[in-house]
Amino acid sequence: MSAIIQGHPGIGRGVFEGEALCASDGFSARYDLDLERGVFARPGHQLHGESFADRIIVLDIAKGGVASAWMLNVLMQGRYRPKALLLNKANPIMAQGASFAQMPLIDRFSVDITKALKTGDRLRLHPVEGRVEVLQSEEREELV
Amino acid sequence: MRLSDLDQAMLAGEMGGIRANAMRHMVEVGGFFDAEHLVDIGQAHIMADTEALGEVGIAYLEGLAEASWEERRVLVPTITDPRGADFKAYDRIRQDRAILRLEERARDALQSLGVMMTDTCINYQTLMPPVKGEHLAFGDTGVCIYSNSVFGARTNFEGGPSALAAALTGRTPAYGFHLDKHRHATHRFAIGADLADLVDWGALGALIGERMGSYLDVPYLEGIETADSDQLKHLGAAMASYGSTALFHIAGLTPEAGGALDSSSDLPVTRLDRSDIEAYKARFAMQDDGLDVVVFAAPQLSLMELHRLGQMLEGRRVADGVTLIAATNPEMKSAADRMGVTDRIEGAGAILLEGVCFYQMHARELAAANGWQRLMTNSAKLANIIAGYGYVPSVASMDRCVASAVAGKSV
């Protein structure tokens, strides 16, 4: 049974599916990731050591300076790339970078997205409508 | 979103594929932030150092450069943020020649689009200051916050791809700080400290920035009666670095402070005193007095700062085992050369770099090549950023930084 979580219309055209990788930390393309190994590499990050390849990253807020905009493109052109990014709140640099890098991005959900989802959830994203479908969710039956 | 006839023509590809892509990008980003229309911009400022660009970013720019001049040229004056290497001095700090080659490729591609390689984050002090109400697409966060706050111009933080898209269309989406509704104060601070040195202004910026919760938060400062451009430069750069803050107001000083509290006069007031500023500086207290490198940058130094540094270093000598680096833009370097300032700085064994700003010049590789770890600076912004590159920073006044460089240890 799939549940729907509604966010603000996002970045990216089409429908995207993948497995969620969740934490309540922030997200910085510049300081949190090791692009060569495809993992979260900043020691203090809750996802430290986790592979982001082919997963939908689910975190709280966007962090990092102006350079992040180019660096999302480096990320999405690299060997290991995430499927998409879901945040409670993005910022202009993250939105600009996601648009340029063609990285699907949705934010501003009706719920705390880092609590509504858990790592391993299977998701289907519709960025134009800002909609997230949770395709399987073992512990919860309904989400709005 | 309402698009003008020209916007729609660009979007439809009538002015070439590059402008169509740029317009598509702006419509998508504008839609994300509920922009209702685009606005004309006066200038664009692009962050495009090779560390941020990466090989794929350089290849992207080179791809644009292959189009015809009519299709690829920027439509408004477009300038650049500091780059990743000083072409004239890279070997003095052991930068890899390979980095220089990347910089040359990025420079050539950007120039072929009609971009002016100003390589500066102090354009507002040295090139062409913004005007109140002028819409801009500026890149560096320090440039943005200064332009918004001190001049009353209007810009969001524009990452490289968006600043370039704005340059190629002459337009930017009207969201965030382009709109009146986001320029009112959301936080209020009473400043009870006498801000003597630039490092104090940076510390105050850091303290306020870290109390901001999101991009649209706007602090309002009371208790500051006078300030000069370098002081506000350090205040804003640190605030933007610590808080992603893009606009501040200072009562009686900045152009929009007068109406900034109109809809929010009952905001709670946070007091910041000398003890808070000293506590900020004490966060960086070192375990011992070891010192590898002293850096004056972030933002680049004005002519006034260079002049002062030259006076401080005259007749002194940077100790063996310590490197002192100052960074400015090519215009101020040229002025410093002409006025004997460069001779005074470099005569003491220091290095004056142009067109770079230290943290954007592959700082991790620099640390490895030179054995640098313990870094001293008068820039709170640099202290905030550089730990992410493996350095152990501390902050102090320019006087103390210079005295430490001369002593060969932190004093």
Residue range A66-85, pLDDT digits in tens: 888 999 999 999 999 999 99
pLDDT of residue A143: 47
Residue B373 and residue B8: Cα distance in Å, rounded? 52
User: Is B162–A71 a contact, with Cβ atoms under 8 angstroms apart?
Assistant: no
pLDDT interval class at A137 (50, 70, 90): low
Q: Give the per-residue pLDDT at B183.
A: 97
**Angular region, A120: left φ>0, alpha ψ -120 to 50, beta rest:** left
Q: Which tens digit of pLDDT belongs to each residue from B126-140?
A: 999 999 999 999 999
How far away is chain A from the Cα of B69, in angstroms, using its nearest Cα?
Answer: 22
Q: Is B404 on the interface with A (CB under 8 A)?
A: no
Residue B72 tokens read as 């690829």
* Contact assessment for residue B245 and residue B239, using Cβ atoms and an 8 Å cutoff: yes
| E-assigned strand segments in B333-405 | 351-354, 374-377, 392-395
pLDDT per position as a tens digit, B91-120: 999 999 999 999 999 999 999 999 999 999
The reported pTM is: 0.95
Separation of alpha carbons B238 and B298, rounded Å: 9
CA distance B178 to B136: 9
Residues 6+ apart with CB under 8 A from B233: B122, B125, B142, B146, B299, B302
Q: How far is the C-alpha of A89 from the C-alpha of B85, rounded, in Å?
A: 34
Q: How far apart are CA A50 and CA A71, in angstroms?
A: 19
**B contact test, residue of A28, A31, A45, A66 with most B CBs within 10 A:** A66
Residue A71 with chain B: CB contacts under 8 Å: 52, 54
Residue of chain A nearest B54, judged by CA positions: A74
Q: Which of A11, A31, A93 sits opposite B159 (nearest CB)?
A: A93
Question: For helices B160-169 and A68-76, what crossing angle results, to 10°?
Answer: 100
Residue B7 clears pLDDT 60, i.e. is over it: yes
| Partner A, chain B 287-316, Cβ-Cβ below 8 Å | none
- Report the pLDDT value the prediction gives residue B387, as an integer from 0 to 100: 87
In this predicted structure, the answer to whether residue B264 has a pLDDT above a threshold of 80 is no
Write down the H helix ranges in B66-193. Answer: 69-72, 97-112, 123-126, 141-149, 160-169
Both ends of chain A: CA-CA distance in Å? 13
Per residue in B12-35, pLDDT (tens digit) is 999 999 999 999 999 999 999 999
Q: Is B198 helix (H, G, I), strand (E, B) or coil?
A: helix
Query: How far does B411 lie from chain A, in Å, by closest CA?
Result: 31
In order, the DSSP letters of B276-345 are HHHHHHHTT--SSS---EEEE-SSPPPHHHHHHHHHHHTT--PPTT-EEEEEE-HHHHHHHHHTTHHHHH
Give the residue from B18, B29, B32, B391 with the most A CB atoms within 10 Å of its CB, the best one to mutate: B32
Tell me how far CA of residue B224 lies from CA of B91, B145, B199, B276, in angstroms. Answer: 43, 18, 16, 16
A96-108 residue pLDDT tens: 999 999 999 999 9
For residue B38, which of B20, B16, B23 has the smallest C-alpha distance? Answer: B23
Distance between B22 CA and the closest CA of chain A, angstroms: 9
**Range B246-253 average pLDDT:** 98
pLDDT of residue A86: 98
Q: Å from A62 to nearest chain B CA?
A: 10
Q: At what angle do helices B97-112 and B50-65 cross, to 10 degrees?
A: 40
Interhelix angle for B303-313 vs B398-407, to 10°? 40
A135 Cα to chain B: minimum distance (Å):
25
Cβ–Cβ gap B159/A70 under 8 Å: yes
B178's tokens: 């382009």
Number of Cβ within 10 Å of residue B262's Cβ equals 9
Better-scored residue on pLDDT, B286 or B399: B399
What is the predicted pLDDT for the residue at A138? 54
Q: What is the pLDDT of residue A144?
A: 42
Please tell me which residue of chain B has the smallest CA distance to A8: B32
pLDDT tens-place string over residues B345-365: 999 999 999 999 999 999 999
For residue B156, give the nearest of A77, A92, A105 by CB distance: A92
Residue B199 near residue B383, CB atoms below 8 Å: no
- What ipTM describes this predicted complex? 0.93
Supply the mean pLDDT for chain A: 92
Residues comprising chain B, all counted? 411
Contacts of A31 in chain B (CB under 8 A): 388
B60/A73 Cβ within 8 A: yes
Task: Note the pLDDT tens digit of each residue in B167-216.
Answer: 999 999 999 999 999 999 999 999 999 998 999 999 999 999 999 988 99
B244 touches chain A (CB under 8 A): yes
CB contact under 8 A, A99 and B388: no
- CA torsion through residues B100, B85, A69, B74, sign: negative
Does B263 score more than 80 pLDDT? Answer: no
- Within 8 A of A92 by CB-CB distance, chain B residues are 29, 33, 156-159, 162, 175-176, 215
